[in-house]
Structure 1
Amino acid sequence: MRTTRHGAEQPPRKQRRALGIPLALLGVGVVACLAAALLAGGGADAGRPAGLPVTAAPAGVPADSGSPAAPAEATTAPTQPPVSSAPPPPTATPSGSPRTTPASSASALASAVSVGSLAGRVKPGVGNQGVATAYEAADGNGACLFGPSPDLMIAAMNHTDYETAKACGAYVLVRAANGASITVRITNECPLPCAPGQLDLSQQAFAKLADLKVGRLPITWTLLSPATAPATMSIRYKDGSSQYWCGIQVIGHRNPVATLEVRTAKGWRQLPRTGYNYFLATDGNGCGGTVRVTDVYGEQLTVDGIAIKPDVIQPTKVQFARH
């Protein structure tokens, strides 16, 4: 009876094992699929340093969905603005369109550039210390070769600060320790041993500060951009100038001249300056053409129609701005 009973129960056990095998296989398949998915997901970031965000697709959109990328929300935008070496423009401008720099910004930029590269030792806004001496100025002509001066409120700049005629024509405000002051124009050079900072004033100018018997007077002085300058400046070609060689001089300028250029077939050509205050084109290229003059503040003035007329002062219609 025991054998018969066992023989009757055998088929149900076989059916249960047959049903359990497919279920086990199905479970293994699910686990394998999940593992493959995890491995595939990890492979998408393979080679990217830890901590960097995924930028291939927006949040919430599968990378393989084929949907167009949605605009990034404000909460996901970078919080740090792009680093810039200059302040942003006052008004937004579409990308690629021209932008006009405000006049105030252009002036500030011009001043910064001029002080750093255009001005020589005599710089705008920089005080200088030295001593004042006096000399007999005669008619006021000197190393700058301006010719006789309309007044004798003039001075000779020491050799160091004269700097190959860069100081020629500069207006300088001179102050003495006793409170007296005078404005003079640089028309001459005081050769060595005149020390840096020293001004050799005309006797007429020195007498405005102290008695001539003082001899040497401690002073401070600064570059000035005066309101009383001539209404317009002038251009003069040196004697002997022609289409083959020429020297060009600027006269009556409010601010010191930093550079002088002439227009040639290949563009603007900057001429070298001599110690006697002429700019030379030794091969004649540009002589008799358009002239462009730049002051120590960076302002540029262009002059047309200046013919080669040796030793003739030719007035223009322009003048540097006051600073």
Structure 2
Amino acid sequence: MRATKHAAPRPWRRRGLVTGSALGLLGVGVTACLAVTVFTGSGTGAVRAADASAAGARAAAPSDAGPEAGGGAGATARPTPSGTGTGTGPTRPATPTPTPSPSVPVPAASTASGTPAGSANSGTARERPRTPSASSGAAASAERITPAVSRRGVATAYAAGDGNGSCLYGPTDDMMIAAMNVTDYESAKACGAYVRVRAAGGATVTVRIVNECPAPCAPGQLDLSRQAFAKLADLSVGRLPVTWTLLSPDLPGAIAIRYKTGSTKWWCGIQVIGHRNPVAALEVRGGGRWRRLPRTAYNYFLSADGTGCGGALRITDIYGQRLTVDGIAVRPGVAQRTDVQFARH
């Protein structure tokens, strides 16, 4: 009986198979690691590039820019407002410098203490440039100069000199005049207004507003000429409690129009003189329509581009009454009489 002889197993083949499989898995792992490394590296580069871009944008922004100016987290650079720029954004052309209008001289207003400021009330009426104050503009919107309203305040006195003042009416022989506090002055709306002033004891005096009394003159306060104050009390009193009311007096004659010194057909200032009631607005005719002119604190209505200079005018008082005046020639510094006047109220 022959015995069948089996060959012994060859373990080295199994070892080779195992070794080959291990090497294959190792290769796959290395390939995966390389892929992850490459992907991660590319992502890191993109993030770094984005960070560098953001850092560059932040560096371009002004260092002192706050939240209102676009600064802070997430802010982007903004172009500079100058005409030259800084290279951080688009530039815009520089704003052209406007051609200045002729300077407008005005005299100084009275002081709250009763002593004239400068020489406006000393008889020489030296003039100085001035622009309307912010408080005057705010007061204008409050409509303080209104009819049939009695106001309370105090009366003080100042040396009125020749009677000229901020309203630029010029010297006067009638010294029953006063300076209005800046609030009720309303950017010259009170100019030319007639006011009846009554003291607590019953004494009264009627004055015309020709000047402005700046701070510390309080709302309701009137700085009377010494001659007018003396009608109410002795000057030694200093401050006198009073009430005052607008009037619409019986005036003789018609209103007059005066063009300011330096006025031409290309630029002019227009003033109304001798009006019975306070003037609320002045319009000129131009381009087939009426155009309202802005009023200055020195009591002239200005046409900066010459519209209406020498043409027809329309004047409105605080009661809404309108007067139309045909063309008045531009004759600077000359009061030209018209044939119209506001009705009494």
Structure 1 unpaired stretches of 5+: 1-116
Return the match for 2:296 from 257, 264, 274: 274
Alignment of 1:35-54 (within 5 A): none
Code of the aligned partner of 1:201: L
Offset from partner CA, 1:162-212 (integer Å, 9 cap, x none): 010000000000000011000000000001010000000000000000000
Q: Please state how far the C-alpha of 1:258 moved relative to its aligned partner.
A: 0.2
CA distance in 2, matches of 1:119, 1:173: 21
CA distance in 2, matches of 1:125, 1:296: 11
Partner in structure 1 of residue 270 of structure 2 = 248
Matches for 1:201-216 after TM superposition, within 5 Å: 201-216=224-239
1:216-239 residue CA offsets vs partner (Å, 9 max, x unmatched): 000000000011x23211000001
Q: After TM superposition, which residue ranges in structure 1, 4 or more long, deviate above 2 angstroms? A: 117-120
Q: What is the deviation of 1:118?
A: 9.9
Q: Which has the higher contact order (CA 8 A, sep 6+)?
A: 1
| Equivalent residue for 2:151, pick from 128, 134, 140 | 128
Structure 2 matches for 1:54-69, cutoff 5 A?
A: none
CA contact (8 A) 1:118 1:298 kept: no
Matches of residues 124-163 of structure 1 in structure 2 within 5 Å? 124-163=147-186
Contact preservation (8 Å) 1:120, 1:166: no
Matches of 1:187 and 1:215, distance apart in 2: 21
Match of 1:218 among 241, 247, 256: 241
What is aligned with 1:258?
A: 280
1:307 equivalent in alignment to 2:333: no
Aligned residue type for 1:210: A
- Whether the aligned pair in 2 keeps the contact of 1:170 and 1:254 (CA below 8 Å) is yes
Long gaps (5+) in structure 2: 1-139
Whole-angstrom CA distance in 1 between matches of 2:259 and 2:142: 24
1:274 & 1:305 partners in 2: Cα distance?
A: 22
Residue 265 of structure 1, CA deviation: 2.2
Q: Secondary structure, in 3 states, of the residue corresponding to 2:211? A: strand
Cα distance in 2 between the residues matched to 1:119 and 1:182? 26
Tell me the secondary structure at the aligned position of residue 302 of structure 2. strand
CA distance in 2, matches of 1:156, 1:230: 23
Q: Which residue of 2 aligns with 1:176?
A: 199
Question: What TM-score do you get using the length of structure 2 for normalisation?
Answer: 0.59
CA apart distance, 1:119:
8.9
Amino acid across the alignment from 1:243: K
Is the partner of 2:228 in helix, strand or coil? Answer: helix
**Is contact 2:177–2:225 with CA below 8 Å preserved after alignment?**
yes
Question: How much does 1:127 deviate?
Answer: 0.6
Report the Cα distance in structure 2 between the residues aligned to 1:270 and 1:223, rounded to whole angstroms.
25
Q: Which whole-Å deviations, capped at 9, do the CAs of 1:249-273 have from their partners, x for residues lacking one?
A: 0000000000000011231010000
Q: Structure 1 CA distance, aligned partners of 2:219 and 2:338?
A: 34
Query: In 2, distance between residues paired with 1:189 and 1:205?
Result: 16
| Contact 1:230-1:254 at 8 Å conserved across structures | no
In structure 2, distance between residues paired with 1:177 and 1:194:
20
Please name the residue that 1:192 is paired with. 215
CA contact (8 A) 1:234 1:252 kept: yes
Matched, 1:320 2:342: yes
Q: Does 1:233 align with 2:245?
A: no
**Structure-1 separation of matches of 2:300 and 2:323:** 17
Distance between the aligned counterparts of 2:301 and 2:267, measured in 1? 11
Asked if structure 1 preserves the Cα contact closer than 8 Å seen for 2:145 and 2:186, the reply is: no
CA deviation after TM superposition for structure 1 residue 305, in Å: 3.0
Q: Distance in 1 between matches of 2:165 and 2:252?
A: 19
Following superposition, the deviation at residue 149 of structure 1 comes to 1.8
1:95 maps to which residue?
none
Superposed CA RMSD in Å reads 1.3
1:231 maps to amino acid: G
Partner-residue secondary structure (3-state), 1:168: coil
Query: Does the CA-based 8 Å contact 2:248-2:277 persist in structure 1?
Result: yes
Change (3 A) 1:315 1:119: farther
